[in-house]
Amino acid sequence: MPKILTISALQLLDAAGRILLVRKRGTSMFMQPGGKLEPDETPLAAVLREVQEETGLIFAPDEVISMGLWKGAAANEADTDIHAHLFAARTEAAPNIRAEIEAMMWLDPAEAMEREDIAPLLRLKVLPGLLGV
């Protein structure tokens, strides 16, 4: 039976409709900013904290929209599934690489879908939703 990680992740778009992808240090897959919930932390509080820690961007609770829960394979951990609380927001601010983030890029969703190095949550849920497929 796989281990289960509960996370919160942010589908962050800029004014041009590009999505922000990050890659954590020591990993090979790009994903949305986000991470594991702390004990007794709500999914919303976790996504706000993680995004600030990883990108320096600060969002108020009413600036992010819940997109529900997605369950599937973890990107960088063998024999692990995630329960991902997915949120969405838009920004015109420039993020910065912080915390455990090693790489960051803005990509058109169609271009992101063509990459081999994107996490299952992106490939199976986020990008198809943005592309209407």
**Domain that includes residue 98, residue range:** 3-128
pLDDT above 90 for 126: yes
Q: Contact 22/55 with Cβ under 8 angstroms?
A: yes
3-state class of 51 per DSSP? helix
Query: Is 64 domain-assigned?
Result: yes
- Rounded to the nearest 5 degrees, what angle is found at the Cα of 52, between the Cα atoms of 40 and 111? 110
Rounded Cα gap, residues 111 and 3, in angstroms: 31
**Is pTM, for the whole model, over 0.75?**
yes
pLDDT digits (tens, 9 = 90+) for 58-105: 999 999 999 999 999 899 888 999 999 999 999 999 999 999 999 999
Cβ count within 10 A of residue 103: 12
CATH number (domain holding residue 119): 3.90.79.10
Asked whether the CA dihedral 3, 70, 88, 67 is positive or negative, the reply is negative
Query: Is 42 domain-assigned?
Result: yes
Domain count, the chain: 1
The percentage of residues in the chain with a pLDDT greater than 90, rounded to a whole number, is 93
